Amino acid sequence: MTLDQIEWYLKELNTTHSSRLSVTSIGKSIEGRDIWLVHIRPRRCSVGGAVWIEAGIHAREWISPAVVLQMIPLFLEDCSRLETLDIFIVPMANPDGYLYSWTSNRLWRKNRRINSGGCDGVDLNRNWDFKFGLFSSDNPCSEDYRGSAGFSEPETQALKDAMLAVAGTSNLLMVIAFHSYGQYILYPWGWTTEEAPDTQKMIGRGELWATAAKKRYGTVYQVINAGGGLYLASGTTDDWAKGVLQVNYSYTVELRDEGAQGFVLSPDQIKPCSEEVWDGMKILLRAVGPGEHIFL
Ligand code: 0X9
Ligand code: ZN
């Protein structure tokens, strides 16, 4: 979907499903666009806890918002433990970058901050103020330019304020950020190869996700450590969620594919990718929070 189509769809959901869903703006991007938060309320009393889902922080990773948007009606239809959860979804964390990837540069990654010196954009997934600056670039021309300071960007400020608000009022069980590509379930830390709290639980639940996702089309998602298995990076959503919010479960999911098409994934992969991801999400969400012990 184009940015306009995404916004139209969210407005439509807000009017047609207002009994269980609300769409609000949590702040503005650097070019003044709204960053939308979709809250799906529990059907029954809210005993299940809350889950935060982020998509689209990297502009060119178009499969991320596509897959996450397709989850919204599935959450609304679901009649299982999932209906006891508060689901918070930011389907498009970097609207300016996304628009730019449609109009000017398909492989744009960062936001659209104008830096001095001629190279634009800050990598929003290096801008979170946890271990800020350790493994990221201070060069505005780099794809992983961290910005001038932790939370220098309005997009990451809006995201963290909203996440802090959710964590302050409900039992936030899990944070998942959707990216592409590579087919990985990444668990923290990303800033060090040392082990994060709850590592065995994150691996176990990640494997449940991957096994369920594989059943449908045979797609293999590897469960690996972000820092040790992929590469060291700091100032990321997943590390901030683990280090500051101290959620039990924090993940970055790298969606399809393994590199054949990479960021420019063909549209015929949207539906199968969404289906396998939903299979993974259903089992994962049953295996975190109250009742999770039955999965041990
Ligand atoms: O480098 C990133 O920001 C992510 N990969 S991507 O190709 N989508 O850009 C991975 C982030 C993984 N998390 C940590 N390293 N903490
Ligand atoms: Zn990414």
- pTM over 0.85, yes/no: yes
**Average pLDDT, whole number, for the chain?**
96
294, pLDDT greater than 90: no
Task: Retrieve residue 114's tokens.
Answer: 């104008």
Tokens 């239809």 belong to residue: 77
Confidence grade of residue 93 (pLDDT, cut at 50, 70, 90): very high
Q: What is the pLDDT of residue 296?
A: 60
Instruction: Please list, in sequence order, all residues whose beta carbon lies within 8 angstroms of the beta carbon of residue 194, skipping any fewer than 6 positions away.
Output: none
Pocket-forming residues, ligand 1, beta carbon under 6 Å: 58, 61, 125, 179, 186, 190, 226, 233, 236, 238-239, 252, 254
From 108, 179, 195, 185, select the one nearest 145 (Cα to Cα).
108
Q: What is the pLDDT of residue 115?
A: 98
Which of 101, 127, 176, 179 is the best mutation target for the ligand 1 pocket, counting ligand atoms within 8 Å of the beta carbon and taking the most?
Answer: 179
Closest residue by Cα to atom 2, ligand 1, is 125
234, pLDDT greater than 70: yes
CA within 13 Å, CB half, 93: 33
Atom of ligand 1 nearest to the CA of 254: 8
Q: Where are the alpha helices (DSSP H) in 142-258?
A: 154-169, 199-217, 237-240
pLDDT in tens, 117-158: 999 999 999 999 999 999 999 999 999 999 999 999 999 999
Strand, coil or helix: what is 39? strand
If you ran DSSP here, which 8-state letter would residue 58 be given? Answer: S
Q: Can you tell me the mean pLDDT for 22-26?
A: 98
The yes/no answer on whether domain 3-286 falls in CATH 2.30.30.140 is no
Q: List the chain domain ranges.
A: 3-286
Q: What is the pLDDT of residue 101?
A: 98
pLDDT in tens, 239-282: 999 999 999 999 999 999 999 999 999 999 999 999 999 999 99
Q: What is the pLDDT of residue 290?
A: 75
